[in-house]
Amino acid sequence: MRIRRCAVLLLEPREEMRFALEDLLAGGNGLLRTLRWLALAGHLDAPVEVDAAERELLGRASPSDWLEPGVLPDDLAAAVPRLVAEGLMLEEAPADPTLSDADARLRELCWWTPSAVAHRHGRWQGVDGAGESERAGLLTVEGLESRFGPPPPHVAATRTGAARQPLPRTPDADFDRLLVRRTTCRNFDTARPLDHARFATMLERVFGARAHVDAGTGATFLKKGSPSGGGLHSTGAYLLVRNVEDVAPGLYHYHPVEHALEPLPTPAAPLDELALLALSGQHWFADAPVLVALVPRFARSYWKYRHHPKAYRALVLDAGHLSQTLYLSATELGLGAFVTSAINEIDIEQAFGLDPLEESPLAVCGFGWRAGRMETAEFDPAGEVWEVAGPRAG
Ligand SMILES: Cc1cc2nc3c(=O)[nH]c(=O)nc-3n(C[C@H](O)[C@H](O)[C@H](O)COP(=O)(O)O)c2cc1C
C-alpha cells in the first residue's frame, strides 16, 4: 500500500539525566545521561522514540507525495511497519483510519508546526503539579532560592547610563482603586453561593458579545470587552459551575451572543474531583464556585492566520486579556478571581468532550466570594484586600 509521512512533525535529540546510586558507588558523579531521538507529531499525544533508520525514513518521505510500495531500500523498508503502527507514517487506505484521520484534519487546520507540537506536547494529564511543587519545596520564595539561587533583578537594568526622567504620579481615581484591589484569590468561601445576578454579569462582561457584525458575506464578527487577535474572538468559555444560585452544578458552554448557558453532559467524575484534577491539585483554586476554561477554537484563528508563526501567540495573548478582564470585573463586583496555566488540559478536554485538534484549553480562571479567613497566602502587601481578621468590605 502507498504511504506518506504525517504532516506536522519535529525531531528532537533529547538528553535525559537521572540520579543513579550504582554510578555514584562505582566512583562516578551519580548522574546517568541518556540521549534519545524523539519524534513529536502534532496529531499524537506522546513522543515516539525513533532509531537511525526510522529517522532517515521520516526525513526522506514526503508528507504530500505518496511512496509506491517497493521503492524503498531494504533498511528503510524495514522501518515502515513500526512507524505506521505509531502513526508517524500513514497508509493511503488503512484498516483503522483513526490516526490518518487525525493527520488529515490537522493538515486542514493550518497550524504552524512548532506551535502545533508545543501545544499538543505541553498538555498534561493527571499531573499533580501542586503536590510536586510542595514536595520539592518550591511553593515558597525561600524554597525556590535555596534550589535555584536568587532570582534575576525585579527590574531590567538599562545599559545606557542616561539619567531617568521622572513622570507625574496619577491622582487616586476609581480605576486606580480597582487596580490596587485586584489580587489573585486563593481563599474562596465554599459555603456562600454566588448569586445569579453577579454570575450573569461576570459572564456578560468578560465573555459576552457587545455587538455582532455581519460582514455581508455570511461571516459574523463579534465585539467584546477584550481585544482579540484578528478580531476573531476564537476563545470560548467552558464552565464548571459548583455553587451558583439557580444554576444546577455541572458543566456548561457559554454562548456569547445569546448570553446563555448551554448545558453539557454530566462528567464521569464528581465535580469536586474534576475541579481539583483540572487545576493540577491546586486546592486553593478548586473551591471557587465557578471555574472557566479558556478554550480557543483553532480553526477560527488559523482560517485567517494560516501556518502563521504568530497565530498561536495571539491566542495565548487573547487568553491573557480575557483573564485580566475577568479579574477586574470580579474585583469591581467585590468578588475574588484567579487564573492559572498549570492545568491538566487532557482531563479538561475529556470532561468537556473537546477534540484537542479543534479546541484545547490554554488556562483556567475562576471567581466567587472570598472566604472569611486566609488559609493560603495571597499577594496583598498593602492590605488592600485583607485586614488581619478577614477580607475588607467592598
Ligand atoms: C499566566 C498566569 C498563570 C498563573 N498561574 C498560577 C498558578 O498556577 N497558581 C497560582 O497560585 N497562581 C497563579 N497565577 C497568579 C500569580 O501567582 C499572581 O498573579 C502573582 O503572584 C501576583 O499576585 P497578584 O495577582 O495578586 O498581583 C498565575 C497568573 C498568571 C497571569
Tell me if 282 CB under 6 Å of ligand 1.
yes
Which residue type sits at 166? P
**Which of 150, 66, 133 minimizes the C-alpha distance to 100?**
66
Tell me if 379 CB under 6 Å of ligand 1.
yes
Closest residue CA from atom 28 of ligand 1: 340
Residues (pLDDT < 50) of the chain are: none
Atom of ligand 1 minimally distant from the CA of 280: 8
Contacts of residue 188, Cβ cutoff 8 Å, sequence gap at least 6:
285, 287, 288, 289, 336, 366, 368, 369, 370, 371
Closest residue CA from atom 18 of ligand 1: 184
Closest residue CA from atom 2 of ligand 1: 340
Q: Which backbone phi and psi does 387 adopt, to 5 degrees? A: -90, 175
pLDDT given for residue 271 in this prediction: 98
Tell me if 148 CB under 6 Å of ligand 1.
no
Tell me if 339 CB under 6 Å of ligand 1.
yes
> Which domains does the chain carry?
3-109 (no CATH), 174-389 (3.40.109.10)
Tell me if 324 CB under 6 Å of ligand 1.
no
Give DSSP secondary structure letters for 106-121: HHHHT--HHHHHHHHH
| Alpha carbons 376 and 99: distance in angstroms, whole number | 44
Q: For the whole model, what pTM was predicted?
A: 0.95
Tell me if 316 CB under 6 Å of ligand 1.
no
- The rounded Å distance from CA 366 to ligand 1 centre is 12
pLDDT given for residue 394 in this prediction: 58
| Alpha carbons 363 and 326: distance in angstroms, whole number | 13
- The rounded Å distance from CA 357 to ligand 1 centre is 27
326-330 long-range contacts, Cβ below 8 Å, gap at least 24?
Answer: 326/202, 326/206, 326/292, 326/365, 326/367, 327/182, 327/184, 328/178, 328/179, 328/182, 329/201, 329/202, 329/205, 329/206, 330/185, 330/202, 330/367
> Could you tell me where the DSSP H helices lie in 279-365?
283-286, 298-304, 311-332, 345-352
- The rounded Å distance from CA 184 to ligand 1 centre is 6
Atom of ligand 1 minimally distant from the CA of 186: 11
Tell me if 340 CB under 6 Å of ligand 1.
yes
The Cβ of residue 240 has, within 10 Å, a number of other Cβ atoms equal to 27
Tell me if 376 CB under 6 Å of ligand 1.
no
Residues 331, 332, 337: CA angle, nearest 5 degrees: 25
Average pLDDT, the chain: 96
**298: Cα within 13 Å, side-chain hemisphere:** 27
